[in-house]
């Protein structure tokens, strides 16, 4: 039983992003999205712009990235493709962190900023952090950006997080 719980715990998503607009869906490579849902398996979860793209079957898709040194991590967990003539998404735009059971949205010094509720984080390469709650909508870029994602937390369903909670 312990082995199965460990497997389940390690393979269930920690949270998700739900793409709320057609632009957000089309900006997300098909390998990262299922319908309109993007799985977050680990924190911090880093998001930025993909600059190496090609049109495949009428959709922008990432092309192979040059291999980095063995053991090095990519700059982002999710690379979004900004197809607008005015870019909204920075190469290292934002990240979602989990600290002591709470979530935080951090703008990683983006040029256009990140929107959450009535708060603008970052912009002009300044950065910033704010507490993130289940259901919050994240706007990636300048005011009026079409790249909108809803944060979905599974905390209230995480009874298997603690082995002692299952019995």
Tens of pLDDT, residue by residue over 133-154, are 999 999 999 989 999 999 999 8
Please classify residue 20 by burial: count the beta carbons closer than 10 Å to its beta carbon, then call 0-12 exposed, 13-18 middle and 19+ buried. middle
Q: What is the CATH classification number for the domain harbouring 68?
A: 2.60.200.20
Backbone angles phi, psi at 84, to 5 degrees: -75, 155
**pLDDT at position 141, please?**
93
Helices (H), the chain: 2-11, 22-27
Residue pair 112/145 in contact (Cβ under 8 Å)? The answer is yes
What pLDDT does residue 16 have? 97
Q: What is the pLDDT of residues 5-49, one digit of tens each?
A: 788 777 788 899 999 999 999 999 898 999 999 999 999 999 999
Percentage of the chain surpassing pLDDT 70? Answer: 79
Q: How far apart are CA 105 and CA 115, in angstroms?
A: 10
Domain that holds residue 107: 2-165
Number of domains in the chain: 1
143 close to 115: Cβ distance less than 8 angstroms: yes
Contact 16, 149 (CB under 8 A): no
Say whether pLDDT at 96 is over 60.
yes
What pTM was estimated for this model as a whole?
Answer: 0.81
């Amino acid at each position: 039983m312990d082995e199965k719980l460990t497997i389940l715990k390690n393979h269930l998503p920690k949270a998700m992003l739900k793409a709320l607009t057609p632009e957000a869906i089309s900006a997300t490579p098909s390998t990262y999205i299922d319908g309109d849902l993007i799985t977050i398996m680990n924190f911090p979860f880093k998001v930025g712009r993909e600059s190496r793209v090609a049109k495949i079957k009428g959709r922008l898709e990432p092309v192979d990235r040059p291999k980095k040194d063995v053991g090095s991590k990519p700059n982002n967990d999710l690379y979004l493709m900004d197809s607008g003539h005015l870019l909204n998404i920075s190469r290292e735009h934002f990240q979602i962190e989990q600290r002591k059971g709470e979530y935080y949205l951090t703008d990683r010094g983006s040029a256009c900023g990140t929107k959450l509720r009535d708060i603008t984080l970052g912009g002009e390469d300044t950065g910033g952090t704010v507490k993130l709650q289940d259901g919050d909508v994240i706007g990636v870029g300048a005011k009026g950006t079409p790249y909108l994602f809803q944060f979905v937390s599974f905390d209230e369903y995480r009874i298997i997080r603690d082995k002692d909670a299952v019995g």
